[in-house]
Structure 1
Amino acid sequence: MKVILDIQDNKAAFVMGLLQRLPFVKTKPLSPYQAKVPDDVKEAVGEMHQIKKGSLQARDAEAIFSY
């Protein structure tokens, strides 16, 4: 099983130390980008549900990527 934990910065070293002492737990810190991806996907799925319900207007892909 994989789990993502959101830990306060000032407590991260302590929690990581505890987890690393457990022989059945593997730890791997995520980069800031990797940590943001699940939140972005969750937001996108939520927006898709709103679009399907009609409570949010869909946007054209060209409008999203034209800067």
Structure 2
Amino acid sequence: MDIVLKNVKKKDFPVLKSLAKSLGFEITIEDEKPYNEEFVKEILEAEKSIKEGRGIRMTMEELKELCK
């Protein structure tokens, strides 16, 4: 059985870790990564290219036509 504890305060973690260890539980710590790294890289590159003037301007009509 797996139990997941979320929003544990840093000051409470050693107590929980000690308790789990004394009961013979296995502890694994996983850092959540809410975004795919490739997706983040793609977005950052797009922002950079826009700042460098490599973006294009479109009117709302052109955008609506593109989305049809």
Larger Rg belongs to: 2
Same fold, TM exceeding 0.5?
A: no
Query: What TM-score comes out, normalization by structure 2 length?
Result: 0.40
Q: Which structure has more helix as a fraction of its residues? A: 1
